[in-house]
Every structure is written in C-alpha cells, then in structure tokens.
C-alpha cells in the first residue's frame, strides 16, 4: 500500500533551523514555470526570482530595465510550480530606492499578485527605513550586500567588492543592521571569502553566498549559468554542472536536418 506523503514547505523558520544545525542552504534562480518545476522537484531549498531575469530572459546588459510588473509575471509563474521551495523575489530597481512607502507598496504587490513568500532588497543602512516598513507589514525580507548589481553604474565594474578596509567595515555594519531590523537572511555577493566568513560568524541569521567563499550559510547561482545555457560566462565563482547550450543547440540542428530531409514527421508520427 502506497502512502502519499505531503511535501513540507521550506519557510524562513526552516532556514534558521538549518543555520542553527550547520546545514547549508541551496538556492537557485528560476524565472518560469517549467524551470521552477525541475528545480523544485530536485529538492532545492530556496528559489530566487532574481532581477537577473533582465539579463538571462530579456537580454539586457544590466538588471536595471526590468519592471515591477515583469517581476510579478515571472514570480507568479514560479510560485505555481514550487511545492516545496521558499520563493524569494527581488524588488527591482526603482521600486524602493529613496521612498519607503513605494517600497512597501512594491513588496505588497509582489506578495499579493505573485503569491511570493518573501522579497529581497539590495543595500544596507541607506535602505533601513524601507526594510523596516516592509517588515512591519509582515513581509519577510532577505538582504543583499557586497556587489549589488542595481548599483552597477555607481561601482562602474563587476569586480570584487569590499577589498578595502572602509568598505569592508561598512559591509559588516550593514549586515548587523539588516539583522537588527529583522531580515531573515542576507545574500553576500562577490566579496573576499575571509570577509564573508567574518560576517557570517557575526550573524545569527543565515548568509547566502555568490562568489563569497564556502563559509556562508548557503550558496546561490543563476540557473542559466550553472546549467551552461549562457555560453561564455565563466566567472571564478561559477561551477558549471551541465553544458545545455551545446545539447540544446545540437538538438535544434538535428530537428532542422530531419525537417529539411523530409524525415520528420515519419509515418509513425502522423495521424
């Protein structure tokens, strides 16, 4: 007799329990129903509907062009597929900077219209008011420090951040501030591994690293990078687990060849 076990949803509380017992958190991006189904079925802990959709889905050079409406569209597609994973959604550029009321409204729209479980927001002390206001509405917030792609034109480069003492000290202070405000986790992107360890050890909440070494409480990668769909993008921090670009490219070539040769469809493939 088979027993149908109910899938247990990962929550922010689950992530804290994982942190407490030393279990690493696995997080990947997804932007559509089909990909999210695969990722969720594989047992991922957290799915990030990242504003990186601006790059990998829409072909933009930066994350800045993607809109709140577009993020809600991607997020709602992912939420419909995720039976287990915690779904975290990026607040896109322009939806929260400098205006805590707009930040709250943006977060509420993502939660109501997409059915998301939490939002992610870039920045430290400068966005404290927005973070506080969102949290007072009962919306879980994940922070993001280090290389913050929405500020790329301020940085002028995608190089490693916080290598200098002043910036490293600010990052440490910002991490503690975000924890104090009530964030349930913080992404640390492209910072020295030693600094990431210091920050992670100083916090009670989990850190999620991307290009921040192995001492973070978990790791996140962009799914298109990890699966080798984006050809030619190979930063040091990326481990590529498949080469789907060539697999998919060869499959399309095979289809074209069979159509041209009148081999597809054959008699078994028609009515």
Is 164 among the residues known to form the active site?
A: no
Measured between alpha carbons, how far is 90 from 51 in angstroms, rounded to an integer? 6
**CA distances (Å), origin 132, targets 16, 89, 100, 103:** 20, 17, 9, 10
Measured between alpha carbons, how far is 95 from 263 in angstroms, rounded to an integer? 52
Question: Could you report how far apart the first and last alpha carbons of the chain are, in Å?
Answer: 39
Measured between alpha carbons, how far is 229 from 248 in angstroms, rounded to an integer? 9
C-alpha dihedral (80, 84, 135, 31), degrees to nearest 10: -50
Measured between alpha carbons, how far is 60 from 66 in angstroms, rounded to an integer? 9
Instruction: Identify the active-site residue in 165, 189, 262, 267.
Output: 189
Q: Which residues are catalytic?
A: 189
């Amino acid at each position: 007799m088979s027993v149908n076990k109910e899938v247990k949803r990962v929550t922010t509380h689950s992530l804290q329990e994982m942190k407490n017992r030393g279990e690493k958190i696995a997080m990947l991006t997804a932007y559509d129903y089909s990909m999210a189904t695969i990722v969720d079925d594989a047992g991922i802990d957290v799915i990030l509907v990242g504003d990186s959709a601006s790059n990998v889905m829409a072909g933009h050079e930066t994350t800045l062009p993607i809109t709140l409406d577009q993020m809600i569209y991607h997020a709602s597609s992912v939420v419909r597929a995720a039976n287990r994973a915690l779904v975290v959604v990026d607040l896109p550029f322009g939806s929260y900077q400098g205006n805590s009321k707009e930040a709250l409204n943006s977060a509420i729209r993502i939660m109501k219209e997409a059915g998301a479980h939490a939002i992610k927001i870039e920045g430290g002390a400068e966005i404290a008011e927005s973070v506080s206001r969102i949290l007072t509405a009962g919306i879980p917030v994940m922070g993001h420090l280090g290389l913050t792609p929405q500020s790329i034109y301020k940085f002028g480069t995608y190089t490693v951040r916080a290598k200098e003492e002043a910036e490293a000290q600010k990052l440490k202070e910002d991490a503690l501030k975000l924890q104090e405000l009530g964030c349930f986790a913080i992404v640390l992107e492209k910072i020295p591994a030693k600094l990431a360890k210091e920050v992670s050890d100083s916090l009670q909440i989990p850190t999620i690293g991307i290009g921040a070494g192995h001492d973070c409480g978990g790791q996140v990668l962009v799914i298109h990078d990890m699966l080798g769909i984006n050809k030619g993008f190979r930063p040091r921090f990326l481990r590529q687990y498949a080469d789907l670009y060539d697999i998919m490219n060869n499959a399309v070539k095979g289809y074209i060849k069979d159509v041209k040769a009148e081999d597809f469809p054959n008699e078994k493939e028609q009515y």
